[in-house]
């Protein structure tokens, strides 16, 4: 019987390889060079915050897109942002050494609270960031009430 030296780091490397395969399968990121040029759906990251007492603001990162590539709808208290990030047409596929950015269609839907006035939603796209402003209804804004003192 041969004596085999135990290497704990080999065990960790095998576990890491298994975890990498699980996450690759779950998120669909290609691990081979063959899949580098493929397109598919992706999800742009967003920040949503309340700006004072008068509006909600949604910021979405949409780099290398034009306004024509972005579609925003508000219907039944749902805000939907959809579009397509197109692959650069000025560079040929065989010229690439590595492609890590995601391309293809996307769609994100957000349920709006009842306090949002959906008739006054506005959007602005600048420097690769989409900013959607969702004003609150007048009746939902806090207001001060004067208290009369009885003598």
Residues 74 and 17 in one domain: no
Separation in Å, CA 150 to CA 144, 147: 19, 10
Same domain, 28 and 45: no
- Among all chains, which residue has been given the structure tokens 């063959």? 34
Together in a domain, 93 and 61: yes
Do 58 and 97 lie in a common domain?
Answer: yes
Residues 52 and 116 in one domain: yes
pLDDT (0 to 100) of residue 140: 57
Cβ-proximal residues to 125 (8 Å cutoff; 6+ apart), any chain: 62, 65, 67, 70, 131
Both 29 and 68 in one domain: the answer is: no
- Can you say whether residue 28 is alpha, beta or left, with left for phi > 0 and alpha for psi between -120 and 50 degrees? left
Number of domains within the chain = 2
**Average predicted confidence (pLDDT) for the chain:** 81
Q: In the chain, what's the furthest Cα-to-Cα distance?
A: 102
Answer whether residue 1 is part of any domain: no
Half-sphere CA count of 121, side-chain side, radius 13 A: 21
Residue 96 lies in domain = 37-139
Mean pLDDT of 42-71: 91
Looking at residue 126, its pLDDT comes to: 94
> Residue 34 — very low, low, confident or very high, per pLDDT cuts 50/70/90?
very low
- pLDDT score, position 124: 95
Whole-structure pTM value: 0.65
- pLDDT tens-digit profile of 60-115? 999 989 999 999 999 988 999 999 988 777 888 788 888 888 888 999 999 998 88
Residue 25 belongs to what H/E stretch? helix 8-27
Q: Is residue 110 part of a domain?
A: yes
The CATH code of the domain that includes 133 is 2.60.40.790
Categorize the per-residue pLDDT at 127 as very low, low, confident or very high, splitting at 50, 70 and 90: very high
Does residue 42 sit in the same domain as residue 90?
yes
Q: Is residue 15 part of a domain?
A: yes
In a domain, 146, yes or no: no
């Amino acid at each position: 019987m041969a004596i085999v030296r135990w290497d704990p780091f080999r065990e960790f490397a095998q576990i890491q390889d298994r975890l990498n395969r699980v996450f690759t399968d779950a998120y669909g990121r290609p691990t081979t060079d063959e899949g580098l040029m493929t397109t598919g759906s992706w999800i742009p990251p967003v920040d949503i915050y309340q700006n004072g007492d008068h509006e909600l603001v949604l910021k979405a990162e949409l780099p290398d897109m034009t306004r024509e590539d972005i579609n925003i709808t508000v219907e039944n208290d749902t805000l939907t942002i959809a579009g397509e990030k197109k692959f650069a047409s000025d560079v040929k596929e065989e010229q690439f050494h590595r492609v890590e950015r995601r391309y293809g269609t996307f769609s994100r839907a957000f349920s709006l609270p009842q306090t949002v006035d959906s008739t006054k939603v506005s959007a602005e796209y600048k420097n690769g960031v989409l900013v959607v402003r969702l004003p609150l209804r007048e009746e939902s804004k806090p207001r001060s009430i004067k208290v009369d003192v009885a003598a």
